[in-house]
A = this chain, B = another copy of it.
Amino acid sequence: MAGVRLQDVAEHAGVSMKTVSNVVHAHPNVSAPMRERVQRAIDELGYRPNAIGRRLATGRTGLIALAFADVRLPYFSELANVVSKAAAATGAGYRVLLEETEGTIEGERAVLSASEAGLVDGMLLQPSQMSSREIAERHGDLPMVLLGEGPAPLSVDRVMIDNVAAATVATEHLADLGRTRIAFVGHEDASMSWTSRQRIVGYQQGLESRGLPVEHDLLIPTGAIASDEAARAVGEAIDRGIRFDALMCRDDLAAIGALRALHERGISIPDDVAVIGWDNIAFDATTFPSLSSVSPNTHELARVALEMLAERIEGYDGIGRHRLVDFELALRESAPGSLQASGAASGDASDADAAVDAGAPGSLSHSLSA
């Protein structure tokens, strides 16, 4: 039945609203017979507490927004899944409101400046376009934690993996496999995202640490973050005569596109060209060959982000805390290895998601600090 109010239950049971409220909230100070009587009234009337009324009174909605570019990107859909589970497991039992920014600055602005306040208790945002300054200015007093390696003002909390370190480790792994012409694939053509920028920096560091030359020709940009774009770009590079024996990909979408371009040209993976992707999305295990990938610990990322957000919601008002979570290389057929590298920052790498297909688990540990 709709429209049954606390009041109605109270009248039906012949008690006050407060008593009904106590029963609903399982308060200790209610006698057993009273509790039973009220419960019967609740059941008879089919009463459900009205969330909005409660929330007006408490000032909390129990909702948090999760905002990122596009749920269709596997990394984000997997993140949404992890975050929504972790949020539900929270003490407050948060539910997740999905917000897509489309990766545009207008979208990010819209999400931050939602004209209505109070709908959500806080926000997890993965920005990619807005400047730190704009983020700091716009978010107002909405409790917020930033996700990922994008811009982040010092005043706001943020969780990420060390992209430079991860790209370095992955590139070094390719070098250690004996590859000498390692290309980077998948960064934006025109204005590069923060993400691409950092991964390229790490790629370069990896090359340098192994004494390999950095060649501009070996940077293969794509029009957009999409596998078909990457397939086209890699195909064109090959056809243009660019030669490489390994591909460090900005993300798994780029890697999957690269796989296709290589297949089409009869290039063998990993014999002729080894490939490493990024994000360790579920598909990586079933591509042919299966795809090695940088595997961020998203469970830990979600956990830490929600913990900080909860503190902000509770009223913590200190300076922005920047946290790193760990990553590892999930090694599969496209770039097998005898060594499993991992970078750890915040302790346990509990997530056993990353199927490491080959090699002894010689764990190469990076000590990173925020």
Partner-B contacts on A (CB < 8 A): 1-2, 46, 48-56, 61, 63, 70-72, 74, 76-78, 80-81, 84-85, 95-100, 115-119, 140-141, 226-228, 231, 256-257, 259-260, 263-264, 282-283, 285-288, 290
Q: Which of B56, B70, B76, B257 contacts A286 (CB 8 A)?
A: B257
Contact assessment for B100 and A84 in the assembled complex, using a CB-CB cutoff below 8 Å: yes
Q: Which of B72, B141, B226, B259 contacts A1 (CB 8 A)?
A: B141
Residue in chain B with minimal CB distance to A73:
B77
Contact assessment for A227 and B283 in the assembled complex, using a CB-CB cutoff below 8 Å: yes
Q: Name the residue among A97, A119, A226, A227 with the largest chain B CB count within 10 angstroms.
A: A119
Q: Which of B54, B117, B283 contacts A256 (CB 8 A)?
A: B283
Contacting residues, chain B, for A46 (C-beta < 8 A): 140
Contact assessment for B63 and A52 in the assembled complex, using a CB-CB cutoff below 8 Å: no
Supply 5 A–B pairs (Cβ within 8 Å), ascending by A: A2-B140, A71-B71, A72-B77, A96-B98, A260-B290
Q: Name the residue among A2, A54, A287 with the largest chain B CB count within 10 angstroms.
A: A287
Contacting residues, chain B, for A231 (C-beta < 8 A): 286
Residue in chain B with minimal CB distance to A99:
B95
Bound-state CA distance A117–B76 (Å) is 29
Contacting residues, chain B, for A117 (C-beta < 8 A): 2, 48-51
Contact assessment for B52 and A119 in the assembled complex, using a CB-CB cutoff below 8 Å: yes
Bound-state CA distance A186–B228 (Å) is 26
Contact assessment for B63 and A56 in the assembled complex, using a CB-CB cutoff below 8 Å: no
Quick one: given A72-B77, A97-B98, A100-B84, are A116 and B54 in contact (CB under 8 Å)?
yes
Q: Which of B85, B95, B116, B287 contacts A51 (CB 8 A)?
A: B116
Q: Which of B53, B97, B116, B287 contacts A118 (CB 8 A)?
A: B53
Q: How far is the CB of A153 from chain B (nearest CB, A)?
A: 19
Quick one: given A257-B286, A288-B288, are A118 and B51 in contact (CB under 8 Å)?
yes
Known: A51-B116, A51-B117, A95-B99. 5 other contacts (CB 8 A): A227-B282, A231-B286, A257-B286, A260-B287, A260-B288
Quick one: given A74-B74, A98-B84, A283-B256, are A116 and B50 in contact (CB under 8 Å)?
yes
Q: Which of B49, B77, B85, B118 contacts A115 (CB 8 A)?
A: B49
Contacting residues, chain B, for A263 (C-beta < 8 A): 288
Q: Which of B54, B70, B97 contacts A96 (CB 8 A)?
A: B97
Contacting residues, chain B, for A264 (C-beta < 8 A): 288
Residue in chain B with minimal CB distance to A48:
B117
Residue in chain B with minimal CB distance to A115:
B48
Bound-state CA distance A183–B246 (Å) is 37
Contacting residues, chain B, for A259 (C-beta < 8 A): 288
Contacting residues, chain B, for A141 (C-beta < 8 A): 1-2
Q: How far is the CB of A42 from chain B (nearest CB, A)?
A: 11
Residue in chain B with minimal CB distance to A286:
B227
Closest 4 CB pairs of A and B: A77-B77, A227-B286, A48-B117, A51-B116
Bound-state CA distance A71–B46 (Å) is 32
Residue in chain B with minimal CB distance to A98:
B98
Residue in chain B with minimal CB distance to A263:
B288
Contacting residues, chain B, for A70 (C-beta < 8 A): 81
Contacting residues, chain B, for A95 (C-beta < 8 A): 97, 99, 119
Contact assessment for A72 and B81 in the assembled complex, using a CB-CB cutoff below 8 Å: yes
